[in-house]
Amino acid sequence: MKFEEKILLIAILIVSMSEAMLLTSFAQQEEGPYPMNASISQPICIQLSEEWKTGILFTNTTTIGVQYPITNMTTLNNATLNYIGTNFGTWYNVSACSGNTIDLGIYHCACSNLKCSGGGSCTPGSDELNVAYDAQGGVGWANGTTPTGVPNAPPNTNDYYFPGPLQYQLIGGQVTPGSTVHLRYWIDPSPDNKPSGIYNTTFKVRGVEYTDTPGSCTC
């Protein structure tokens, strides 16, 4: 074999090896599908009125602003701040902070029934008043978009009474950033034959994305 032919053969061999490597390289390329995932949690902010933060304190049917013992056990009794000021608007409210970027659902729940803590003839921790509606009453509420635009009694449906301990209940649906929900509360003590004393419980307020649910109420 001539020298020139050997050079040509070697060149052909190198080209063939390069083509083989190129084919191998293409063979190693892959395609999907493969997951691409992003988890987003929008920050949520709500602000309760300072008066509401002090609690919901019930008085009689006519007193404004001051807590007095309930004497009529068979009717709705006001929360102390239902009707305050010259315009008699409620001071119970919750706002969706203006910095939110999503609409909210706002919920409340009661941690327990109102249990006797003493101060009378009731048995502490034993005697209690129901928060949920029944034939005798319960703890009801109403909402509105202005302090004076809240109804003067709970609408006649169980949806406007606490559903029972440790159950969240919607009090403001699709609340836009910067908007406020105003509320009034009433108690029709149930059962209405409980002995005198001080009965109390605690409640919670929670905001979530309006398409979401608040989960379990834990106290």
Q: What is the pLDDT of residue 2?
A: 55
Q: List phi, psi (to 5°) of 180.
A: -125, 140
For 117-170, the pLDDT digits (tens) are 999 999 999 999 999 998 889 999 999 999 999 999 999 888 999 999 999 999
% of the chain with per-residue pLDDT over 90: 79
Residue type, 22: L
Distance CA 25, CA 13 (A): 18
Q: What is the pTM of this model?
A: 0.83
For 70-80, the pLDDT digits (tens) are 999 999 999 99
The answer to whether 216 touches 109, Cβ cutoff 8 Å, is: no
Q: Averaged over 25-48, what is the pLDDT?
A: 86
